[in-house]
Chain A
């Protein structure tokens, strides 16, 4: 009986706080993306033509985001039925956009106009912990181009 109560409390806490945190995070992501819209990012390797003299610097951004209890349970149920695991989709989207934003912020702070050759890497942390599928790390890196006025 006590086990069921604990389970339900955890589920409710996960649902409540998880939803709240996700909403807040998405709002902040959208706001900051708007601010950094002028800074262009490319996954191509070559700098755009006609930029004049440039300085290059490596920029990166990373974030670790954990799954809440509710999402973990709903994903576990979903894996019985198959299909889209929307709980995890939004988690990874958040993590990727946040990592890219942090990279862009770093580029912006160093006065860059473009970021090229952007690569993304995803790793799951504490995978070896049996049932405790915990958190995901996304790491974004690229080369920032800083225009030189000579």
Chain B
């Protein structure tokens, strides 16, 4: 499965368009990380726990998008975009969407 955020893959032709696919996940911070983060909020600097959390969450969103694309018979997802929004205090939604296509 090829995932890309450009709409034309060099050297490959799109045989069929299958429409938009999407994947999302909502994650909350867990309390231990929260306490560490509030300590870090005094000193400043990178919050490694959150960086990891968001990386994992994004991978999950992409994974779900890819699974959806597979289920409709695509072999690539192009023009992928990411979006983040905070749903409630302490929870964030990560959303990935793109166009499922069949490449030659």
Contact = CB atoms under 8 A, between A and B. Distances in A.
Q: Do A and B come from one complex?
A: yes
A14 B6 contact: no
Contacts of B14: none
Contacts, number: 131
Given A65-B45, A125-B50, A141-B5, A54 B10 contact: yes
B44 A62 contact: no
Nearest to A17: B43
A68 B51 contact: no
Interface string B62-104: 0000000000000000001111111011101000000000000
B16 interface: no
Given A54-B11, A139-B54, A68 B44 contact: yes
The secondary structure that dominates the B interface is mixed
A107 to B, nearest CB: 13
A141 to B, nearest CB: 6
Contacts of B46: 25, 63-66, 98
B9 A134 contact: no
Interface of B: 2-11, 29, 37-38, 40-48, 50-51, 54-55, 58, 80-86, 88-90, 92
Q: Which 7 A-B pairs have the closest CB atoms?
A: A68-B44, A128-B89, A18-B44, A64-B50, A17-B43, A123-B84, A21-B45
14 contacts: A18-B44, A45-B6, A46-B8, A47-B10, A54-B11, A62-B54, A69-B41, A72-B41, A117-B6, A123-B84, A125-B86, A126-B29, A126-B89, A128-B88
